[in-house]
């Protein structure tokens, strides 16, 4: 490179550097302008990091709604989370994707472990995989319940801040607005919605709409009390305290009792669900351990009887898991807000041919059976229609019948395969066979199989006929000393192979199990009815709290109290609704009908006090004892909750541990003891002979 070329390069580099400096100074001057700084400041809060979980969940949500099988779960989640995250589509999508992703991440390793454990037992593996899908469904609901519990805890702080704000502004809607400005809390969205209701042109209509979407009854009570206070004004109590704030305090105490109840239930049942599931995952490990250490148990575990015990334990585990989940139900008798309005049962019933068949089983309207089933649907708080219940019953009946027939056929196949594959020895073996003895046993099994294939099918074959066939084969000589013993063994195997066909009593058993499947939905509703009866006392005490809040508000009448009770009722919803509908025709008569339709003594006293308030005395005087005995009723409610939790825990432990006990006793201990004693007896007999 010459000197001139080097000079040109240096000059060009200097000019380029000067241009860069000038451009930098111009851009820097523009960037320092206030408009640019303001735009940059606004962008800072919207820029995402290189990796953001929120963005990832949004993308996963879009993937889930396009995935056929997963789409059902994501929409089911949405229907519940839309109420918790009111008018917040972003949070609803994020929470839906997050919960479903967590469930999938838990499901994948469980499925892999199940496949590894039960890979040699295809039937058991399929049953376990189907059962695990059911577990995921309940797991997803548990995650949503956790969000609901967190919202309930946030409401405690929210109501405390409302009290301070009300002292400052002395206006209901303004206090709610100021406290709802905190966007970090989920309850703030509910506060904003309640503020919109109270400040709307028609708050009464908007309030009724909010009642339909409120996530829990405590926010309904708060919204209703806030509306009544805004409409009729606040008033001072005898101790110069605000009635509105006192009512908020009553709601807060109700929430605190409910939170304690849920926490105790979670503590009692936190491990029972896992304990009830554990047996199905331990079936194969226990079987492998027992066979490897006590080879004489192989006949039980690989045979028909072992498979029957396995299936019984799986069925017992499924039933125990369902009942345990029902017992744990934190909300007691919550309405299923996630229910599909057009489930598969409705599609089945719309089929003209199937509809005619199903109608044959549904009781005729007006009959005793129809009224009995209708009452059971109400008592169990079931949201299913009568037709859907019978679709479920008939489907379960058909499925259980077919499954029993298929399993019976599979049992016969398993028994025959065991005869053909089990290594055969001429002596009773208590320990594990050596490699050489194992090969000899397998060779003897093949030798027996030759005669089984040749002689099977003849149901009347005798020992002499079998004995006559042995010397004709290449395996035996005429004077072989083992002919008598081997002929008896082959005859015993032939009896098993020839007898393993579908029997009449198995078909009868399939019909019996189908009847059990047909009755199962009804039994489940009866169980739910019993659970609701356990919650009855708790609901009556909630009614007492509502009445205490309403009784001192001006212009509140008996009809308004009944409407409030109907809104928050669950167990008593049907009789209270009927009373509200008949109230205009005659208040006293409608209340008398309500009193006659309930059996709880505390509820009867409430109705009698309402009757007194209709004709004789003011509402405040009719329920004066409720306010005076407020502390007593609260302590009584806490004690009732403790007794309820104790009773549920006792039932739950009995049901939850049942599969585990059956696993160790029926699947491990009894086979070891019975088969071990039988084998030892046979061994001693041979030694004695």
Q: Where are the beta strands (DSSP E) in 209-357?
A: none
Please tell me the distance from the alpha carbon of residue 548 to that of residue 229, in angstroms, as a whole number: 15
Contact assessment for residue 487 and residue 467, using Cβ atoms and an 8 Å cutoff: yes
How much is the pLDDT for 567?
83
What six digits make up the tokens of 450? 């030759």
SS3 of residue 366 by DSSP? coil
- Distances from the Cα of 410 to the Cα of 405, 416, 502, angstroms: 9, 10, 10
Cross-strand partners of 236: 242
Q: What is the DSSP letter of 459?
A: T
Contact assessment for residue 162 and residue 187, using Cβ atoms and an 8 Å cutoff: no
* Cβ atoms within 10 Å, residue 491: 18
What six digits make up the tokens of 590? 């409608």
Please tell me the distance from the alpha carbon of residue 632 to that of residue 548, in angstroms, as a whole number: 14
What six digits make up the tokens of 679? 């084998």
Contact assessment for residue 679 and residue 428, using Cβ atoms and an 8 Å cutoff: yes
- How many angstroms separate the first and last alpha carbons of the chain? 112
Q: How many residues does the chain have?
A: 689
* Cβ atoms within 10 Å, residue 127: 21
How much is the pLDDT for 680?
66
pLDDT digits (tens, 9 = 90+) for 253-273: 888 888 888 888 888 887 777
What six digits make up the tokens of 142? 């548990």
Cross-strand partners of 242: 236
Residue showing tokens 């029972």: 272
pLDDT digits (tens, 9 = 90+) for 604-651: 888 888 888 887 778 777 777 776 666 777 777 778 778 888 888 888
SS3 of residue 236 by DSSP? strand
Contact assessment for residue 246 and residue 266, using Cβ atoms and an 8 Å cutoff: no
- Would you say the C-alpha torsion 292, 297, 302, 306 has a positive or negative sign? negative
- Which secondary-structure segment (H or E) carries 12? helix 3-31
∠ Cα 660 663 664 (to 5°): 95
Cβ-Cβ contacts under 8 Å for 674 (sequence gap 6 or more):
none
Q: What is the DSSP letter of 667?
A: I
∠ Cα 493 499 500 (to 5°): 95
Q: What is the DSSP letter of 585?
A: T
What six digits make up the tokens of 39? 């735009």
Residue showing tokens 């949201």: 383
Q: Show the low-confidence residues of the chain (pLDDT under 50).
A: 1, 34-36, 39-40, 42-43, 45-46, 48, 331-340
How much is the pLDDT for 511?
92
pTM of this structure: 0.68
pLDDT digits (tens, 9 = 90+) for 107-129: 888 788 878 877 776 766 777 77
Please tell me the distance from the alpha carbon of residue 132 to that of residue 180, in angstroms, as a whole number: 41
Among candidates 566, 522, 521, which has minimal Cα distance to 543? 566
What six digits make up the tokens of 571? 């167990």
pLDDT digits (tens, 9 = 90+) for 37-55: 554 454 454 454 555 777 8
**Alpha carbon of residue 661 to chain centroid:** 23
- Would you say the C-alpha torsion 170, 176, 182, 187 has a positive or negative sign? positive
Cβ-Cβ contacts under 8 Å for 669 (sequence gap 6 or more):
none
Q: What is the DSSP letter of 295?
A: G
- Distances from the Cα of 524 to the Cα of 183, 340, 376, angstroms: 42, 20, 11
Please tell me the distance from the alpha carbon of residue 110 to that of residue 116, in angstroms, as a whole number: 10
SS3 of residue 242 by DSSP? strand
- Which secondary-structure segment (H or E) carries 640? helix 630-664
How much is the pLDDT for 5?
54
Q: How many helices (H) and strands (E) does the chain have?
A: 30, 0
Please tell me the distance from the alpha carbon of residue 380 to that of residue 526, in angstroms, as a whole number: 7
Contact assessment for residue 599 and residue 571, using Cβ atoms and an 8 Å cutoff: no
Please tell me the distance from the alpha carbon of residue 429 to that of residue 299, in angstroms, as a whole number: 12
Among candidates 490, 636, 483, 610, which has minimal Cα distance to 550? 610
- Distances from the Cα of 349 to the Cα of 282, 365, 389, 476, angstroms: 40, 18, 11, 66
How much is the pLDDT for 650?
86
Among candidates 84, 87, 93, which has minimal Cα distance to 152? 84
| Burial (CB count within 10 angstroms: exposed 0-12, middle 13-18, buried 19+), residue 307 | buried
How much is the pLDDT for 332?
36
């Amino acid at each position: 490179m010459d000197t001139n070329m080097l000079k040109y390069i240096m000059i060009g580099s200097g000019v380029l550097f000067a241009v860069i400096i000038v451009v930098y100074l111009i851009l820097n001057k523009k960037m320092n302008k206030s408009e640019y700084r303001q735009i940059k400041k606004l962008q800072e809060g919207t820029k995402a990091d290189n990796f953001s979980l929120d963005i990832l969940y949004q993308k996963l949500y879009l993937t889930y709604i396009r995935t056929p099988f997963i789409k059902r779960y994501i929409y089911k989640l949405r229907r519940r989370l839309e109420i918790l995250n009111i008018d917040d589509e972003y949070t609803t999508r994020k929470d839906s994707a997050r919960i479903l992703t967590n469930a999938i991440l838990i499901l994948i390793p469980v499925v892999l472990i199940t496949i590894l454990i039960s890979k040699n037992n295809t039937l058991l593996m399929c049953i376990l995989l189907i059962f695990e899908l059911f577990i995921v469904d309940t797991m997803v609901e548990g995650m949503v319940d956790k969000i609901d519990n967190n919202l309930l805890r946030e409401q405690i702080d929210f109501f405390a801040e409302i009290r301070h704000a009300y002292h400052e502004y002395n206006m209901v809607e303004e206090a709610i607005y100021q406290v709802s400005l905190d966007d970090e809390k989920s309850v703030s969205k509910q506060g904003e919605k309640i503020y919109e209701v109270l400040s709307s042109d028609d708050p009464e209509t908007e309030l009724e709409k909010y009642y339909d979407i409120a996530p829990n009854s405590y926010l309904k009570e708060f919204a209703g009390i806030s509306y009544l206070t805004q409409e009729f004004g606040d008033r001072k109590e005898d101790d110069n305290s605000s009635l509105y704030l006192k009512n908020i305090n009553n709601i807060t105490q109700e929430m605190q009792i409910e939170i304690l109840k849920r926490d105790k239930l979670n503590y009692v049942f936190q491990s029972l669900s896992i304990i009830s599931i554990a047996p199905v995952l331990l079936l194969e490990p226990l079987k492998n351990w027992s066979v490897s250490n006590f080879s004489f148990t192989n006949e039980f575990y690989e045979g028909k009887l072992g498979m029957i015990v396995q299936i019984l334990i799986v069925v017992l585990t499924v039933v125990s898991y369902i009942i345990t989940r029902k017992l744990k139900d934190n909300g007691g008798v919550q309405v299923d807000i996630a229910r599909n309005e057009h489930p598969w049962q409705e599609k089945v019933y719309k089929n003209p041919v199937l509809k005619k068949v199903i109608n044959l089983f549904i009781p005729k309207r007006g009959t005793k059976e129809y009224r009995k089933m209708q009452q059971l649907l109400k008592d169990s708080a079931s949201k299913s229609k009568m037709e859907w219940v019978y679709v479920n019953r008939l489907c379960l009946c058909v499925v259980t019948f077919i499954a029993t027939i298929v399993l019976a056929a599979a049992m016969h196949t398993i028994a025959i395969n065991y005869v053909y594959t089990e290594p055969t020895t001429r002596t009773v073996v208590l320990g594990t066979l050596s490699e050489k003895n194992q090969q000899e046993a397998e060779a003897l099994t093949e030798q027996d199989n030759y005669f089984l294939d040749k002689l099977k099918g003849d149901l009347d074959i005798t020992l002499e006929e079998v004995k006559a066939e042995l010397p004709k084969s290449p395996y035996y000589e005429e004077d072989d000393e083992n002919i008598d013993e081997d002929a008896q063994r082959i005859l015993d195997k032939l009896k098993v192979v020839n007898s393993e066909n579908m029997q009449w009593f198995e078909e009868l058993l399939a019909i019996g199990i189908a009847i059990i499947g047909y009755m199962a939905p009804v039994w489940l509703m009866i169980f739910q009815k019993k659970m609701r009866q356990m919650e009855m006392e708790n609901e009556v005490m909630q009614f007492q709290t509502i009445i205490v809040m309403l009784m001192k508000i001006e212009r509140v009448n008996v009809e308004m109290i009944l409407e409030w009770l109907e809104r928050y009722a669950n167990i008593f919803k049907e009789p209270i609704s009927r009373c509200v509908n008949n109230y205009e025709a005659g208040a006293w008569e409608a209340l008398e009908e309500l009193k006659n339709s309930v059996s709880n003594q505390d509820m009867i006293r409430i109705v009698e006090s309402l009757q007194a308030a209709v004709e004789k005395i003011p509402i405040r005087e009719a329920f004066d004892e409720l306010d005076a005995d407020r502390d007593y009723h609260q302590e009584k409610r806490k004690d009732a909750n403790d007794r309820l939790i104790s009773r549920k825990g006792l039932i739950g432990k009995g049901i939850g541990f049942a599969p585990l006990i059956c696993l160790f006793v029926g699947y491990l201990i009894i086979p070891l003891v019975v088969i071990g004693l039988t084998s030892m007896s046979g061994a001693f007999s041979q030694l004695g002979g």
